[in-house]
Chains A and B, each alone.
Chain A
């Protein structure tokens, strides 16, 4: 599988969509910190640094949906996936290498956001301390949220050879997760401990809810949500591999 990962890395390094996604994260970070700066100046906001440092997590779902769709689907539209299968690589390895490549790209996008934010923050706001526990938890959450999003989008992309349809499904899914997550968050905040079981399940299963908790520094953020998202990612990868083994490649 290392050969496949190696080849994917060469592609990633030359990928335009990856470059665009990175630029978007840079732009998003700068915008977030510029707005943070102006909010601080007008005293409209308190010093919730999570809101700026982890704001990229709110957009990462949509960015990953577009990136995974374009990057992975090139294999089907250019038929280059055949080159991997025909030389005897196992389908499970092909799937896993593609997943790991997209996951790595997602983490790099988050890292780009954080680094740009750090730089922009230092320049615009000056040196401020983010609690170390908040920072570690936020980074762990970022990693797991990207894992879950990537697992979903890679599954759709690898199983559907129709480019337009799979891309539409991924983008719609990313917006649907955002909408459902936002709805859940609002209800959970208003209901508190009296929230029903469905809301509690969605709270842990929808990556966007965790992303909102991280960015708002909410106390409801729990280790259970991270475990749930990790299990969700692993399950989606296993389902994807099993189904991909049976797919007839055109």
Chain B
């Protein structure tokens, strides 16, 4: 699997406070990687280090195979773009002028792509309206257009749906999906709104107190949060045979414990197992929300006030 970003043991202190504590993660090419963590967990700090706004105290990261201490990291960063916390825009300028300036910063010879970018984010009709007069959703979209100048193939977005209305959230989601699927842009998106993230992310990294608690694919998370019946019996082999006969979907989580995902009647199952001489020791229905899973993962800690 080709990786775009590989982070290895990053640490960052703000005075004596540890914002990142040996964080490691890997972003595969083509993924929409959801970085999940509550406020103060270290998401923004990580993004600031990746984008070169701040320097790590220890640890390294590799971007497109170039280590952060290598001189070529500046070249690798040209393939990446980011919005940190809020879109960086000249508020006294129009959408077009903002893009024009970014084109100059990147040294792009032609401004031909500006119209296409404005169309892409739905801001082609803003005319002489200044960015400072835009709604939050429009500013976010213009921020993405600025970030897309120079055709980056890795986009980092820090809480892009914060403060957006429902319509804005839908538009942002569709834009990100389109960028990922049609323009093949790998996206690292941080958020604490898990439900929304789950609609687009292909990979997840759960971050807590500056550490990566768990990294998993969307499939693994879905399985972890799926509605199931957890049955523990005296003989696992018998249970497997009975479930196979019933054509049920299941998986064993321990030698004698299985998670059954199919909609199955418990009384006939217990009777059948009893006939086979197998005792049901416990049966428990399980259904976990994404938030519930996250809370369980981080130990139910409350929000912190760190940066």
Contact = CB atoms under 8 A, between A and B. Distances in A.
B88 A82 contact: yes
Interface stretch (B31-39, B97-105, B222-230): B97-105
A2 B101 CA distance: 13
B92 A4 contact: no
B153 to A, nearest CB: 14
Contact of A87 (B55, B81, B92): B81
B90 A7 contact: no
Interface size class of B (residues with CB under 8 A): 35 or more
Interface in A1-39: 2-4, 6-7, 10-11, 14, 16
A6 B102 CA distance: 10
B214 interface: no
A86 B80 contact: yes
A87 B54 contact: no
B127 to A, nearest CB: 16
User: How would you classify the secondary structure of chain A's contact residues: helix, strand, loop or mixed?
Assistant: helix
Contacts of A2: 107
Contact of B91 (A78, A82, A89): A78
Interface in A74-90: 74, 78-90
Contacts of A246: 55
Given A82-B53, A83-B88, A14 B97 contact: yes
Contacts, number: 82
A249 B102 contact: no
A87 B105 contact: yes
A87 B104 contact: no
B104 A86 contact: no
Contacts of B88: 78-83
A41 interface: no
Interface stretch (B71-79, B112-120, B178-186, B287-295): B71-79
Interface of B: 48, 51-55, 73-78, 80-82, 84-93, 97, 100-102, 104-107, 146, 150
Given A6-B104, A85-B52, A86-B80, 18 more contacts: A7-B104, A10-B100, A11-B101, A14-B92, A74-B90, A78-B91, A79-B84, A79-B85, A79-B87, A79-B88, A82-B51, A83-B146, A86-B51, A86-B52, A88-B78, A90-B74, A248-B48, A248-B55
Interface of A: 2-4, 6-7, 10-11, 14, 16, 74, 78-90, 246, 248-250
Q: Which 5 residue pairs are nearest across A and B when measured between Cβ atoms?
A: A88-B74, A7-B104, A79-B88, A88-B77, A3-B107
